[in-house]
Structure 1
Amino acid sequence: MKKIKLIFTALTGLLVLVTGCSDEFLTREPEGQFGQPSLLTPDGVEGILLGAYAMIDGSGVDGSNDWNVTVENWAFNIASDDALKGTDAGDQPEQSFIEAYDFQAFNGHITNRWRSLYKGIARTNDAIVSARTVEGLDDARREQIIAEATFLRGVFHMEARKMWRMPKYVGDENFDINDVNSTLVPNDREIWPLIEADLEAAAAVLPASQSDIGRPTSWAAKAFLAKAKVYQGWNDDGSANVSKLQEAKPILEDIIDNGPFSLAPSFEDNFLVSTRNNSESIFEIQYAISSAADQASSRGMGLAHPYTDPWGCCGFYQVSQNLVNAYQTENGLPLLDNFNDTNVSPDTNADGSSVVTARLDPRIDHTLGRPGILYKGFKIYQTDFVRDLSYAGPYFSKKHVAEPEGFGIGGWGNLTANNYRYMRLGMIILWLAEVEVELGNLEEARALVNQIRTRAANPDGFVPNAIQGENRNDFTVEEGVPAANYDIATYDTPWTDAAVARKAVRFETRLEFAMEGHRYWDLVRWGIAAETLNAYIASESQFRTYLNGRSFTEGRNEYFPIPSQAIDRSFLEGTATLTQDPAY
């Protein structure tokens, strides 16, 4: 059996043998075809499946830039109140349009995300069809290949459904890798039920554990199934879809009560190379440095590194003042209603230390870089980390960056071995808290939120203070001395007001998962994107003047337009099979 660690290492060489799509604008080919008949041997089918895994991170998309298509979704999360495009005004202007809610059907980032997802879907279908027909494959392995590919197909379609209001669903019923018409299906139905069906089918067959780290288990399939139901748990007007939340609850409870998972001891354990695949991990994207292939990491995050040494490129994916302010606390609790009334200062003292005396949630300094605070063990962060201070401000993203021990080749590619925790137990706990609030079980929700806050309060996980030496690379770490005035407590007063409980759970979700590529879609699924983001623009534009005059249009900007290129390529017998979102 091929080891899953090969997915992001030796896969590049593998795909040379099995890929080869043209990139001409109107070339009519099945999205994701390999350009030659699939090799119907057991090893060939395993290779097709590995090719499908590679598409989780968008690898192998001809003509695309990795940052457009990476699973971390950072190039689209810049439309949230957490993140800014960063770098400078002239670099990657297509991202500037996304940040400004000017979503256009010809935007190359949007086009490439569509292409990568549907290429991944095509590869899953090819794996399924090929596994059914190949000779010489052990029946048990045949069943597992089909289940793994079905899981991936559900996940790819879920990402598409998050991006687009009415994407198409491409199944394996009539799939033929050599027939363009087999992928030309209309986007005329809601695909959530089909996503659920894929994940249910996968959960029924996949094992509870895998010997190859990185392959999905039945628990992973259940987790994504629960996610699909939770994402349908709110209507467009923000009211709860109680029936979907009721369906999600027993799945979430099963994972928490019976799954082999526990919260990692420290919050930071979810963002270090040294603590990959820990007790909290349910499904994790595996990355590793390969000197032979010269690529193996999340190349899609390559641009999202500080502009200073040792990275040297490229300054994208900076952090908003709004998010920094959200980590302020009073009596250890977040300021749910007035967190943005006072700004956390980016200033430093003469010795380079932070001037901030405000009480802060300790997760702030694992989530973002701010002046005067040690940055992942490399050096004390200062504003030389950013490319253009006047454009996107003083703060930078941090979670995806590997610590020095896991830092790889460096330079433009910024290759690291830091995995992406796509699904972890903390998500399951807070989704269940959301469900409990809407079902009226406020005290159960409070207990769940307090689990997350108790872990965040572990002082062993606090960023330590560091004293600057004679040069930027010279510093002394004061072990056991916190870098800031960290103050975090649990909610000890019973929750009796559903509106307050809902706000607290959603705020906790932001603090826990900020800059991990989820915030924009959380706001959309909760039905509060317009009010939240327009308030954010009003405040953030005082720092980022280029946001002046921008606005989020309710009923439109919750979803992206279907790429015009995809519609142009969808004609069958003179009629386009894809229909544009009426909002565009």
Structure 2
Amino acid sequence: MKNNQIFKRIALVSVSALTLTFACKDQFLEVPPTASLAQAQLSSKAGVEGTLIGAYAQLAAKGYSRLAAGNNWVWGSIRGGESNKGTDPGDYSNINTMQRYEVQPTDGDLNDTWRAKYEGVARCNATINLANGSKELSAADKTRIIAEARFLRGHYYFELKKLFNSVPYVDETLDYGKGIEKVANTEAFWDKIEADFAFAFANLPATSSSAGRANKWAAEAYLGKVLLFQGKFADAKAKFTDVIANGTTTNGKKYGLVPKFAEIFNAENDNNEEAVFAIQSSMNTGNVNNANGFDDLNYPYNTGSDGPGNCCGFFQPSFSMANAYRTVNGLPILTETAGAPDYNLAANAVKNDFGVNSSAAFTEDTNPLDPRIDHTIGRRGIQYLDWIEHPGANWIRKQDYAGPYSPKKYIYYKRQENTLTDGSSWTRGYATMNFNIIRFADVLLMAAEAEIEAGSLTTALGYINQVRNRAANPAGFVMKGGVAEANYVIAPYTAFADKAAATKAVRMERLLELATEGHRFFDLVRWGTDVTTLNAYLAYESKYLVTKFGGASYQATDKYLPIPQAQIDIQGTSILKQNAGY
């Protein structure tokens, strides 16, 4: 049984812990509904723990849109220019408007994303109230449970802040009849998020028998991230410094980088030393509810028995992102011309098989590349995990619409099919790989940013080079027959000439290291480079995918999503105010 599976199986029934029953005057109506729980059951230790597990379970947003989970594959990566929607124009067509920055307040997936985050908040608040009212919990258990719930609440509100900016803040003191329906949306709740993570850091243990739980170091890392997003660089630096020096995983491993980059994205290596906080996944629990359902669309198309999933061709990496992996003397290309990155110049672009039939001859790119390209992007002629060499167009549903590449992170290995995948539903693509919300490389790069702004360029250099040196480990290159599949050339930086050079380097490193992990759009917004970067991306992609991107543009008001119209209709325009630009 996969590590932590018992912890996750409880999540299947935990939603019932939130069921509310109402008394009526007619006696026959006072019979509790089937499967509802009495207050005494809810307040028992098992009941409170079950409600807490329900708050964890909501990280995967099961039962809501695939866009609502914590991996942010659309909101963070597709909208960040790392990937195209993929497949064909008519398949999940409303993602087209999201990628073109034309999403409407009436969009159902937008509303589901809002609802899923607030469901997480509600479960956290319910857990806190039950813990406070329980007579069965020891003082230590009560403190720990409340700290875990506040950690998770901090996460859900951080997600809402990144996505919508101005939302209603509701804590455990509010409920229907107590003013919850009158809470207006506001931008001013960063302090509440900070307080939740600070409480979690102060009150959570360092280790636990369940590897998937948040611990004190995950809380401090997340607090550092929240501070970084606000530009509180000195405060963030202090948090990251402590985490890097002293932090451990919940299962007691000192934080560090796994030796090989590919090991991060391998279900056999879940809950490793790089996993700061992750969405847990498992199988063989009676159905697929605990498997990784939010990635089930994001496998190469029409692979048959030669490839994973056999569905559906979404989330295809962009031309621009592939080009970013070009290296010169082992370093990325950081220069720009007229606001557009020089790695997209014709001389630097990665050779691909766009418009080339799989049966036609094709020779792969032979110029220097960062080795992380072939752990991130499936491209023709390169070994695709332990399946086959990527065949090109045969694994692409519609090349002229979505490009020539396939996603590669968070894809399961051939040897894992039916042992670390769950094929009992409509696709073989329910994998049991965890998704890292924060991993240690992310912490190092955030720490580097904080050091550049409020510390030492030399310290920042060391953090960035730790990440690059791991990528440079030849034992981790994509190989076939003992030979590297491409001309992999990567080197550490020797020094940064000034703050501007260091800033360019760390921002590029976040793209190369964390690509397709849901961070990019939010990084661009907090850096204030979103308008220039994303319009340059649209201009470049439209050279190839004319029908997809023609006339698309990105405006400053697109940095936040619209408040769902369904929510405004429920609350009223006097309570919920629409974001600017919608």
Q: In the aligned structure 1, how far is the partner of 2:262 from the partner of 2:181?
A: 42
Partner amino acid for 1:287? S
Match of 1:251 in 2: 239
- The alignment status of 1:444 with 2:442, answered yes or no, reads no
Match of 1:426 in 2: 441
Contact kept, 8 Å, 1:406 with 1:418, in 2: the verdict is no
What is the CA-CA distance between 1:11 and the residue it aligns to?
2.7
Alignment counterpart, residue 379 of structure 1, candidates 382, 385, 388: 388
Q: In the aligned structure 2, how far is the partner of 1:17 from the partner of 1:395?
A: 44
Alignment counterpart, residue 192 of structure 1, candidates 190, 195, 199: 190
TM-score if structure 1 supplies the norm length? Answer: 0.88
Match of 2:25 in 1: none
Contact kept, 8 Å, 2:86 with 2:314, in 1: the verdict is yes
The 5 A counterparts of 1:560-575 are 560-571=561-572
Contact kept, 8 Å, 2:68 with 2:113, in 1: the verdict is yes
Q: In the aligned structure 2, how far is the partner of 1:78 from the partner of 1:35?
A: 40
Match of 2:410 in 1: 400
What is the CA-CA distance between 1:371 and the residue it aligns to?
0.4
- The alignment status of 1:550 with 2:552, answered yes or no, reads yes
Match of 1:512 in 2: 513
Match of 1:12 in 2: 12
Partner amino acid for 1:43? A
What is the CA-CA distance between 1:14 and the residue it aligns to?
4.3
Distance change >3 Å, CA 211–CA 353, structure 1 → 2: farther
Contact kept, 8 Å, 2:17 with 2:50, in 1: the verdict is no
The 5 A counterparts of 1:263-412 are 263-290=257-284, 292-307=286-301, 308-309=303-304, 310-337=308-335, 338-341=342-345, 342-347=348-353, 354-382=363-391, 383-407=393-417, 408-410=421-423, 411-412=426-427
Q: In the aligned structure 2, how far is the partner of 1:414 from the partner of 1:20?
A: 35
What is the CA-CA distance between 1:279 and the residue it aligns to?
1.2
What is the CA-CA distance between 1:75 and the residue it aligns to?
2.1
What is the CA-CA distance between 1:296 and the residue it aligns to?
2.0
Partner amino acid for 2:263? D
Distance change >3 Å, CA 4–CA 142, structure 1 → 2: farther
- The alignment status of 1:52 with 2:65, answered yes or no, reads no
What is the CA-CA distance between 1:8 and the residue it aligns to?
4.2
What is the CA-CA distance between 1:295 and the residue it aligns to?
3.5
Alpha-carbon deviations, 1:307-362, whole Å to 9, x = none? 12241211111100000000010111111122111321123898977421011000
Contact kept, 8 Å, 1:12 with 1:293, in 2: the verdict is no
Q: In the aligned structure 2, how far is the partner of 1:20 from the partner of 1:103?
A: 35
Contact kept, 8 Å, 1:442 with 1:501, in 2: the verdict is yes
Contact kept, 8 Å, 2:496 with 2:502, in 1: the verdict is yes
Contact kept, 8 Å, 2:43 with 2:134, in 1: the verdict is yes
Contact kept, 8 Å, 1:100 with 1:547, in 2: the verdict is yes
Match of 2:152 in 1: 152
Unaligned 5+ runs, structure 2: 22-34, 248-253, 336-341
Partner amino acid for 1:95? I
User: In structure 2, the residue corresponding to 1:423 is in which secondary structure?
Assistant: strand
Partner amino acid for 1:450? N
Contact kept, 8 Å, 1:127 with 1:149, in 2: the verdict is yes
Distance change >3 Å, CA 6–CA 95, structure 1 → 2: farther
What is the CA-CA distance between 1:385 and the residue it aligns to?
1.7
What is the CA-CA distance between 1:391 and the residue it aligns to?
0.9
Alpha-carbon deviations, 1:441-488, whole Å to 9, x = none? 2222222111111111001111112xxxxxxxxxxxx13x11110000
CA RMSD in angstroms, aligned pairs only: 2.2
Q: In the aligned structure 1, how far is the partner of 2:114 from the partner of 2:178?
A: 17
Match of 2:85 in 1: 85
Contact kept, 8 Å, 1:10 with 1:293, in 2: the verdict is no
Contact kept, 8 Å, 1:406 with 1:417, in 2: the verdict is no
Contact kept, 8 Å, 2:184 with 2:575, in 1: the verdict is yes
Contact kept, 8 Å, 1:273 with 1:418, in 2: the verdict is yes
Distance change >3 Å, CA 168–CA 303, structure 1 → 2: same
Q: In the aligned structure 2, how far is the partner of 1:340 from the partner of 1:128?
A: 51
Q: In the aligned structure 1, how far is the partner of 2:55 from the partner of 2:428?
A: 23
Alpha-carbon deviations, 1:291-315, whole Å to 9, x = none? 5224421101111111122412111
Partner amino acid for 2:386? G
What is the CA-CA distance between 1:35 and the residue it aligns to?
8.5
- The alignment status of 1:435 with 2:450, answered yes or no, reads yes
Partner amino acid for 2:145? I
Contact kept, 8 Å, 2:14 with 2:51, in 1: the verdict is no
What is the CA-CA distance between 1:182 and the residue it aligns to?
2.9
Partner amino acid for 2:73? W
Q: In the aligned structure 2, how far is the partner of 1:35 from the partner of 1:519?
A: 42
The 5 A counterparts of 1:68-107 are 68-76=67-75, 77-107=77-107
Contact kept, 8 Å, 1:7 with 1:54, in 2: the verdict is no
Distance change >3 Å, CA 390–CA 41, structure 1 → 2: same
Match of 1:474 in 2: none
Unaligned 5+ runs, structure 1: 22-33, 234-243, 466-477
Partner amino acid for 1:57? A
What is the CA-CA distance between 1:547 and the residue it aligns to?
0.4
Distance change >3 Å, CA 172–CA 20, structure 1 → 2: closer
Q: How many residues align?
A: 536
Answer with 149-158 or 425-434: which moved more: 425-434
Match of 1:137 in 2: 137
Q: In the aligned structure 1, how far is the partner of 2:191 from the partner of 2:343?
A: 39
Distance change >3 Å, CA 562–CA 262, structure 1 → 2: same
Distance change >3 Å, CA 99–CA 358, structure 1 → 2: same
Q: In the aligned structure 2, how far is the partner of 1:387 from the partner of 1:9?
A: 35
User: In structure 2, the residue corresponding to 1:375 is in which secondary structure?
Assistant: coil
